[in-house]
Amino acid sequence: MSPTVQGEILVPGAAGEGRALVLTAPISFWGGVDPKSGRIADVRHPQCGETISEKVLFLPGTIGSSSASAILMELVHSGHAPAALVLHEPDAILLLGLIVAREMGWQTPIAVKLGSAKFPAFGGREVVAATDGSISVK
């Protein structure tokens, strides 16, 4: 089975391709993700130790912090950003990091909105997030 779904583009960016990392719990980027490596550093998070770098990251939610945008910008700048972000709900603070990084001329991944009920079909599979917002298994 090769599911292809259409997501809603939240922030345009480069197409992304990589193994899907479907988080099973919301995450805080501030303190929850190491911006120098992309590793999930929050010891309370179920995917602690996994890296989000070069993955198509499916986020069921985020735990707010006004610093989330800065952490995402650092991830983009350090080359450890996800290949694409798929969010259940828009997170304006997190996505601000992509928008500012774009304004600085850095290549940013695409961010799309997709209902979390569709996330499990992609878990652990090689996924492509296209610039038109479609998400498919490679």
- As a whole number of angstroms, the distance between CA 106 and CA 99 comes to 10
Catalytic residue from among 28, 37, 53, 65: 65
3-class SS of residue 74? helix
Under 8 Å between Cβ of 51 and 39: yes
Residue 107: which residues within 8 A CB-CB, separation 6 or more?
13, 14, 76
69 is catalytic: no
Annotated catalytic residues are: 65
